[in-house]
Amino acid sequence: MIAKAEAVQDYVVALRRDLHRNPELSGQEFKTRERLMKELDPRWWQGSIRAREAGP
C-alpha cells in the first residue's frame, strides 16, 4: 500500500497545488469538478454520482 501511495505522490501533490492555485467559490467549483472528473477513474466517480442521485 505504501509503495502504491509513493508511486502517485508527485502526481497528487501537483494536482492539489494546481487546484489551490485556481480557487473557486463554494458551490461554484465548476472548473475543479471538470478537472477532477477528467483525472479520476470514471468507474469510481460514476458510481458515486449514481449513489448520490438515488438519495438516502
Over residues 3-26, the pLDDT tens digits come to 888 998 998 899 999 999 999 999
> How many domains would you assign to the chain?
1
pLDDT of residue 38: 86
53/1: higher pLDDT: 1
Domain containing 48: what range? Answer: 2-54
Rounded CA separation 8/21 (Å): 20
Measuring CA to CA, which residue among 47, 51, 39 is closest to residue 8? 39
Over residues 22-36, the pLDDT tens digits come to: 999 999 999 999 998
- pTM (global) more than 0.75: no
